[in-house]
C-alpha cells in the first residue's frame, strides 16, 4: 500500500532522507523508529504529500503521489506530531470540514464524526471551540479527523504524545482493528514498548538511511547476540549508549 | 537584579540580531525598497513641516505661538497613539507571550521581569512614533536654529515621554486582566481600540477643520492670540514636551516641564512596579483561563449550507470555514467598524464637495466621478489588503492539513478569492452607487462607474490573493500585522498601478463621448474609441485577476512547511 523508491530529501547541502526504499503491504501496522533528527518526520511528511522529495518516488495504493496527488491523497489520512488546528471551529465543525476536503458530507459523515468523538471521550466538547481544548484533546480530535473519511492508509507521526492512558489504549485498539480490516498504518514513535507490542514490522532510520527493517525476530538477528528487547536493539543499532556520558554530565 | 534583567533581555537582542543577519532571499531588495519609502516619507514630512515652520517664523508675535500649538497637537496625537498601543502590546508581552511559561517557572526576580517586559512593551509600541518624530523634531530644530545641543534636549524630553505611556499602559492592562480573562480582555481591547480610532476619525471630520483656516472665524486678533496662548492640555506629558522644546528653540528654556516629565516617568514606573508585584501573579494565572465558547449550527447556518450546496462539498466547506473563522475572531470582525466609519467619512466628503457655482466647468463636473472611481478603488484596495491579503498567511499553522488532503491548491485560492471578492463587490457597488447619486451623474457615467468598479474589484481581489500567497507571513498570528509586510506594500503599489491604468485608459474615450453628446449635439459618439478604451481596461483588470493567482498556485504547490 505504501511504496517508497530511492526517496531522498535534501535541504541545501544537508541530506535529511537518503535513498529510502520501503514497502508497507496492505493490512500491516508498520513502526518507524529513529533518534531525534534521523529523518522520520521528513519521510512521513513526504508520504503525506506535504513535502516534495528531492528525488525518488512515493506511491499510495499503487498511485504515484507526484503524478496524481489528488487520487493518492484521497486514500490517505495523516496525523501530525503537533496538533495545530483552526481555533475558531468546534470539534464537530472541524471533522465536517476535514471530511469536506475529501469530498464527503451528509448523514454518514455526521454519524461517523459523532462516533469518533465519542470513542475519544470528546462528545461533551463537540460544540465547543477548539481554542478551549487541551493539548491532548486537540490530538484526539486530529486523530478522529484522520479516520473520518475512511482512508485506506494512515500515516501517523508520534501518536501517543499528550494522550491520557485511556486514550492511548483506545488508539492502540483502533489501530489494531483498523489494520485487521485490511487497512495500512505507518507510525513513527519514540515509545518503544508501543512499537514492540503493536507493530507487525519495524524500520529503524538513522541519519536519513534505513539501518534495519523487519519483524522483531529479524531485528534481534541483525543486532548483536544477547539482546532481546527493542530498546536494547535500538540503542545497539543506533549507537546511542549514553550511560558513561550521563554520569559525567551529572558529576559536572 | 541587573544580571537577571540582562539575562531576560539578551534573547530579544539575539533574535533581533539573527533577523538582521539572516540570508533570506530577496532580503536586500526588500530592505532597499522599505528604506527608500521610509526616506521619501521622512523627506516629505520634513519638507512640509519645514516650509510651514519657516512661514510661521516670518510672522511676528504669533509665529512661535502657532509653531508651539502645532507641536502640541502633534504630541497629543502621539501620546494617544502611544497609550493605546502600549495597552495592547502589554497584553501580549506580560500575559500571552510564549516565553512566559519558562519565565514563570524560573526563579526570576519580579522587578527584573517587570523591567524587562516594560522595556519590551515600550520598544514594540514606540518605534513607529519615534520614526515619525525624527523628521518633525529635525524640522523644528533647523528652522529655529536649535543647534547640536537640541538633539540632546530632544532625547532628554522624548525618553520620559515614551516611558510614561508604557508604564501607564502596562498598569492598565494589568488591572484589566485581573478583572477579565486575558483572552476576553484582548477581545475587549481590540474593540475599544477600533471604536476609539473610529471616533477620532469621525470627530475630526465632523468638526470640518478646513473651516478653521478662514480668518472670519475669529472676531479679532486678540481673540486669536488668546486661543493660541492657552495650553491645549496642561496636565498631559505632551504639553510638557512641547513647552521644553519650544522653550529651548525660542531661547527661554523652562526646566519645570523637564522636571515634570522625568518625575512623572519615575512615579509611573514605581507605581507600575508596585502594582505588578501586587497583582501580576494573580493576573497571570487568570490569563491561563480560556474563555469557553459554544457554537452549534442553527437555522441560519443550515440555510447557508443549503444555499452553498450547488458549489460542491469541497468549496462549500472551505467557504463555511472562512466565514466562521472570520466572524468568531473579534480581532478580525471588529475592524469592520473602522471600515464602516471610513466609508461614511468618504461619502460625507463627497456630499460636501462644492460642485456648483463659479469656476465649476463641465470638465470638472465630469472629472469628479472619475476621481471618485480612483479613490473608491484605493479604499477597496486597502480593504482587500486588510481582509483578503492575509488569507493564505493565516493558514500557516494548519497548512499540514490542507497539504495532506486531496484539495487542489487552485481550489483553495479561488475559494479565498470568491469569499473576499463578493463582499468587496457589494461594498464597491454601494460606495459607487451612493456617491454617484450624491454627485447626480448622468446614466452614461453611472454605467461606466459600475462597469469599471466591478472590473477593478475583481482585479484587486485577484492581486490580494496572489501577493498574499507570494509573500506569506505564516508565523504572524495577528492578521492586522500581515498587510504591513513588504508583500503588502508591493500589493498596494500594484493595486494603485492597476487603478491608475484603468482610469487613464477610460478617461479619454469618456471625455470624447461626453463632449460629442453635450457640445456637438448632432455628432455620433466615438464608438470605436470607447470599445478600445474599455476593452483595454477590461483586459488589464482580467490579467490582474488571473495572472497573480496563477503564479500563486505554482508558488503554493512548491511551498514546503
The answer to whether B328 contacts A104, with C-beta atoms less than 8 Å apart, is no
pLDDT of residue B159: 95
The answer to whether A101 contacts B324, with C-beta atoms less than 8 Å apart, is no
What's the pLDDT tens digit per position in B236-252? Answer: 899 899 999 999 998 88
The answer to whether A85 contacts B398, with C-beta atoms less than 8 Å apart, is yes
Chains A, B: CB contacts under 8 A, how many?
A: 99
pLDDT of residue B306: 86
- Return the residue in B304, B404, B407 with the most chain A beta carbons within 10 A, the one to mutate for interface testing: B404
Tell which residue, A202, A134, A146, A205, has the closest CA to residue A171: A146
Sheet with A2-11, strands from edge to edge, namely A14-24, A2-11, A55-60, A63-64
Tell which residue, B122, B121, B150, B118, has the closest CA to residue B134: B150
Distance CA A154, CA A146 (A): 7
The answer to whether B560 contacts A101, with C-beta atoms less than 8 Å apart, is no
* Residue B157 belongs to some domain of the structure: yes
Q: Which helix (H) or strand (E) holds A157?
A: strand A153-157
User: Of the candidates A73, A100, A131, which has its C-beta nearest B313's C-beta?
Assistant: A100
The answer to whether A48 contacts B404, with C-beta atoms less than 8 Å apart, is yes
* Residue B24 belongs to some domain of the structure: no
Same domain, B47 and B188: yes
Backbone phi, psi, residue A11, to 5° = -115, 95
Domain containing B216 equals 2-15+38-287
Beta partners for residue A77, in sequence order? A154
Tell which residue, A151, A208, A219, has the closest CA to residue A1: A151
Same domain, B524 and B459: yes
The answer to whether B405 contacts A128, with C-beta atoms less than 8 Å apart, is no
How large is the average pLDDT for residues B420-442?
A: 89
User: Of the candidates B290, B295, B317, which has its C-beta nearest A97's C-beta?
Assistant: B317
Same domain, B304 and B219: no
What's the pLDDT tens digit per position in B32-83? Answer: 887 888 888 889 989 999 998 998 888 877 788 888 888 888 888 888 888 8
Do residues B100 and B266 make contact, with C-beta atoms less than 8 angstroms apart? no
Same domain, B251 and B322: no
Distance CA B67, CA B144 (A): 10
* Residue B22 belongs to some domain of the structure: no
Average pLDDT over chain B, rounded to an integer: 84
CB-based contacts of A104-110 (< 8 A; 24+ apart in sequence):
A104/A148, A104/A149, A104/B313, A105/B313, A105/B316, A105/B317, A109/A148, A109/A149
User: Of the candidates A69, A80, A93, which has its C-beta nearest B324's C-beta?
Assistant: A93
Q: Which residues in chain A are contacts of B294 at CB distance < 8 A?
A: 90, 127-129
Distance CA A10, CA A53 (A): 8
Distance CA A206, CA B456 (A): 55
Integer CA distances (angstroms), A99 to A94, A111, B318, B409, in order: 9, 12, 11, 17
Q: Which residues in chain B are contacts of A105 at CB distance < 8 A?
A: 313, 316-317
Same domain, B465 and B529: yes
Burial of A133 from C-beta contacts in 10 A (0-12 / 13-18 / 19+)? buried
The answer to whether A49 contacts B403, with C-beta atoms less than 8 Å apart, is yes
Do residues B241 and B77 make contact, with C-beta atoms less than 8 angstroms apart? no
The answer to whether B314 contacts A100, with C-beta atoms less than 8 Å apart, is yes
What's the angle, vertex CA A88, arms to CA A85 and CA A91, rounded to 5? 65
The answer to whether B293 contacts A132, with C-beta atoms less than 8 Å apart, is yes
* Residue B33 belongs to some domain of the structure: no
pLDDT by 10s per residue, chain A, length 252: 899 999 999 988 899 999 999 999 999 999 999 888 889 999 999 999 999 899 999 999 999 999 999 999 999 999 998 878 888 899 999 999 999 999 888 899 999 999 999 999 999 999 998 988 988 999 999 999 999 999 999 999 988 888 888 988 899 999 999 999 999 999 998 888 888 888 999 998 988 999 888 888 887 777 666 666 777 777 777 775 555 566 677 777
Residue B357 has pLDDT above 70, yes or no: no
Same domain, B314 and B350: no
* Residue B20 belongs to some domain of the structure: no
User: Of the candidates A73, A103, A145, which has its C-beta nearest B313's C-beta?
Assistant: A103
Same domain, B252 and B340: no
Q: How distant is the Cα of A151 from the closest Cα of chain B, in angstroms?
A: 11
**% of chain B at pLDDT higher than 70:** 88
Residue B207 has pLDDT above 60, yes or no: no
Residue B476 has pLDDT above 60, yes or no: yes
pLDDT of residue A186: 95
The residue from B225, B258, B287 where one domain ends is B287
The verdict on B37 touching A (C-beta cutoff 8 Å) is no
In SS3 terms, B111-144 reads as HHHHHHHHHHHHHHHHHHHHHHHHHHHHHHHHHC
The answer to whether A86 contacts B328, with C-beta atoms less than 8 Å apart, is no
Residue of B nearest to A96 (CA): B317
What's the pLDDT tens digit per position in B441-468? Answer: 888 888 999 999 999 999 999 999 999 9
* Residue B422 belongs to some domain of the structure: yes
* Residue B363 belongs to some domain of the structure: yes
Tell which residue, B561, B398, B401, has the closest CA to residue A146: B401
In SS3 terms, B359-418 reads as CCCHHHHHHHHHHHHHHHHHHHHHHHHHHCCCCCHHHHHHHHHHHHCCCCHHHHHHHHHH
Q: Considering its fold, how many domains does chain B have in total?
A: 3
pLDDT of residue B212: 47
Residue B228 has pLDDT above 70, yes or no: no
Sheet with A201-206, strands from edge to edge, namely A76-79, A153-157, A184-188, A29-33, A201-206, A209-214
Same domain, B399 and B441: yes
The residue from B287, B319, B348 where one domain ends is B287
pLDDT of residue B260: 95
Better pLDDT: B343 or B156? B156
Q: Which helix (H) or strand (E) holds A109?
A: helix A107-119
Residue B193 has pLDDT above 90, yes or no: no
Do residues B116 and B8 make contact, with C-beta atoms less than 8 angstroms apart? yes
**Collapsed DSSP state (helix, strand, coil) of residue A23:** strand
The residue from B259, B287, B315 where one domain ends is B287
Q: Which residues of A touch B (CB under 8 A)?
A: 45, 48-52, 69-74, 76, 78, 80, 84-86, 88-90, 93, 96-105, 127-129, 131-132, 145
pLDDT of residue B156: 94
Same domain, B69 and B46: yes
Same domain, B93 and B212: yes
Same domain, B130 and B206: yes
pLDDT of residue B24: 65
What's the pLDDT tens digit per position in B251-268? Answer: 888 899 999 999 999 999
User: Of the candidates B290, B324, B404, which has its C-beta nearest A89's C-beta?
Assistant: B324
The verdict on B339 touching A (C-beta cutoff 8 Å) is no
Distance CA A195, CA A202 (A): 7
Which triple of cell numbers denotes residue B254? 523652562
Same domain, B412 and B428: yes
The verdict on B404 touching A (C-beta cutoff 8 Å) is yes
The verdict on B230 touching A (C-beta cutoff 8 Å) is no
Residue B366 has pLDDT above 50, yes or no: yes
* Residue B417 belongs to some domain of the structure: yes
**Collapsed DSSP state (helix, strand, coil) of residue A174:** helix
Specify the pTM: 0.77
Residues 180-209 of B with CB under 8 A from A: 183
Dihedral, A64, A67, A70, A75 alpha carbons, nearest 10: 0
Which triple of cell numbers denotes residue B139? 524640522
Q: Which residues in chain B are contacts of A78 at CB distance < 8 A?
A: 400, 404
Amino acid at each position: 500500500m505504501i511504496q517508497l523508491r530511492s526517496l531522498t530529501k535534501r535541504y541545501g547541502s544537508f541530506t535529511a532522507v537518503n535513498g529510502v526504499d520501503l514497502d508497507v503491504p496492505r493490512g500491516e501496522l508498520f513502526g518507524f523508529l529513529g533518534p531525534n533528527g534521523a529523518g522520520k518526520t521528513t519521510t512521513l511528511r513526504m508520504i503525506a504529500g506535504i513535502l516534495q522529495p528531492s528525488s525518488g518516488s512515493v506511491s499510495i495504493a499503487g498511485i504515484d503521489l507526484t503524478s496524481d496527488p489528488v487520487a493518492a491523497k484521497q486514500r490517505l489520512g495523516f496525523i501530525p506530531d503537533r496538533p495545530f488546528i483552526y481555533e475558531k471551529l468546534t470539534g464537530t465543525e472541524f471533522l465536517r470540514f476535514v471530511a469536506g476536503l475529501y469530498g464527503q458530507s451528509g448523514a454518514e459523515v455526521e454519524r461517523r464524526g459523532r462516533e469518533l468523538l465519542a470513542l475519544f471521550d470528546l462528545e461533551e466538547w463537540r460544540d465547543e471551540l477548539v481554542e478551549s481544548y487541551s493539548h491532548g484533546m486537540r490530538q484526539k480530535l486530529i486523530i478522529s479527523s484522520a479516520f473520518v473519511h475512511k482512508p485506506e492508509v494512515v500515516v501517523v507521526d508520534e501518536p501517543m504524545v499528550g494522550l491520557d492512558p485511556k486514550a492511548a489504549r483506545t488508539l492502540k485498539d483502533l489501530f489494531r482493528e483498523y489494520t485487521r480490516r485490511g487497512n495500512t498504518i505507518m507510525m513513527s514513535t519514540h515509545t518503544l514498548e508501543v512499537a514492540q507490542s503493536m507493530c507487525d514490522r519495524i524500520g529503524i532510520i538513522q541519519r536519513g538511511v534505513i539501518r534495519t527493517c523487519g519483524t522483531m525476530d529479524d531485528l534481534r538477528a541483525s543486532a548483536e547476540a544477547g539482546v532481546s528487547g527493542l530498546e536494547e536493539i535500538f540503542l545497539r543499532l543506533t549507537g546511542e549508549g549514553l550511560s558513561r556520558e550521563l554520569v559525567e554530565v551529572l558529576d559536572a | 537584579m541587573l544580571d537577571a534583567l540582562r539575562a531576560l533581555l539578551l534573547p530579544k537582542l539575539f533574535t533581533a540580531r539573527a533577523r538582521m543577519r539572516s540570508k533570506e532571499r530577496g532580503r536586500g531588495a526588500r530592505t532597499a525598497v522599505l528604506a527608500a519609502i521610509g526616506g521619501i516619507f521622512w523627506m516629505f514630512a520634513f519638507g512640509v513641516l519645514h516650509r510651514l515652520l519657516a512661514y510661521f517664523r516670518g510672522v511676528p508675535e504669533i509665529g512661535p505661538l502657532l509653531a508651539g500649538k502645532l507641536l502640541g497637537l502633534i504630541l497629543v496625537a502621539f501620546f494617544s497613539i502611544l497609550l493605546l498601543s502600549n495597552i495592547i502590546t502589554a497584553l501580549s508581552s506580560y500575559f500571552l507571550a510564549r516565553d512566559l511559561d519558562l519565565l514563570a517557572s524560573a526563579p526570576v526576580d519580579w522587578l527584573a521581569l517587570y523591567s524587562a517586559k516594560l522595556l519590551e512593551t515600550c520598544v514594540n509600541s514606540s518605534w513607529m512614533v519615534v520614526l515619525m518624530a525624527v523628521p518633525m523634531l529635525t524640522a523644528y530644530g533647523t528652522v529655529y536654529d536649535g543647534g547640536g545641543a537640541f538633539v540632546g534636549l530632544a532625547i532628554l524630553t522624548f525618553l520620559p515621554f515614551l516611558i510614561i505611556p508604557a508604564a501607564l499602559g502596562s498598569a492598565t492592562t494589568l488591572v484589566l486582566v485581573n478583572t477579565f480573562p486575558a483572552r476576553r480582555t484582548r477581545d475587549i481591547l481590540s474593540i475599544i481600540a477600533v471604536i476609539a480610532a473610529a471616533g477620532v476619525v469621525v470627530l475630526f471630520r465632523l468638526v470640518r477643520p478646513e473651516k478653521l483656516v478662514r480668518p472670519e472665524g475669529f472676531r479679532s486678533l486678540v481673540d486669536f492670540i488668546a486661543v493660541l496662548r492657552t495650553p491645549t492640555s496642561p496636565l498631559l506629558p505632551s504639553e510638557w514636551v512641547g513647552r521644553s522644546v519650544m522653550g529651548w528653540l525660542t531661547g527661554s528654556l523652562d526646566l519645570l516641564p523637564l522636571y515634570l516629565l522625568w518625575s512623572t516617568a519615575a512615579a509611573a514606573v514605581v507605581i507600575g512596579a508596585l502594582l505588578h508585584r501586587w497583582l501580576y501573579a494573580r493576573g497571570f494565572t487568570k490569563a491561563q483561563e480560556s474563555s469557553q465558547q459554544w457554537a452549534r449550527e442553527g437555522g441560519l447556518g443550515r440555510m447557508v449550507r443549503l444555499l452553498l450546496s450547488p458549489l460542491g462539498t469541497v468549496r462549500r466547506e472551505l467557504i463555511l470555514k472562512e466565514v466562521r473563522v472570520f466572524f468568531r475572531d473579534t480581532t478580525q470582525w471588529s475592524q469592520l467598524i473602522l471600515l464602516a466609519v471610513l466609508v461614511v467619512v468618504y461619502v460625507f466628503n463627497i456630499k460636501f464637495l462644492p460642485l456648483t457655482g463659479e469656476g465649476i466647468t463641465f470638465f470638472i463636473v465630469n472629472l469628479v466621478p472619475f476621481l471618485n472611481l480612483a479613490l473608491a478603488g484605493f479604499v477597496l484596495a486597502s480593504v482587500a489588503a486588510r481582509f483578503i491579503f492575509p488569507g493564505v498567511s493565516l493558514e500557516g499553522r494548519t497548512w499540514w492539513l490542507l497539504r495532506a488532503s486531496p484539495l487542489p491548491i487552485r481550489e483553495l485560492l479561488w475559494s479565498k478569492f470568491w469569499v473576499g471578492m463578493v463582499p468587496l463587490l457589494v461594498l464597491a457597488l454601494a460606495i459607487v452607487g451612493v456617491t454617484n447619486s450624491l454627485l447626480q451623474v448622468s446614466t452614461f457615467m453611472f454605467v461606466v462607474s459600475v462597469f469599471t468598479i466591478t472590473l477593478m474589484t475583481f482585479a484587486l481581489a485577484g492581486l490580494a490573493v496572489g501577493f498574499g500567497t507570494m509573500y506569506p507571513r505564516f508565523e504572524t498570528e495577528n492578521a492586522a500585522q500581515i498587510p504591513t509586510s513588504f508583500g503588502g506594500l508591493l500589493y498596494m503599489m500594484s493595486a494603485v498601478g492597476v487603478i491608475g491604468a484603468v482610469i487613464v485608459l477610460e478617461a479619454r474615450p469618456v471625455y470624447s463621448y461626453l463632449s460629442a453628446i453635450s457640445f456637438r449635439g448632432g455628432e455620433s459618439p466615438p464608438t470605436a474609441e470607447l470599445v478600445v478604451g474599455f476593452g483595454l481596461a477590461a483586459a488589464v483588470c482580467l490579467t490582474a485577476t488571473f495572472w497573480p493567482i496563477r503564479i500563486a498556485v505554482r508558488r503554493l504547490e512548491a511551498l514546503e512547511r
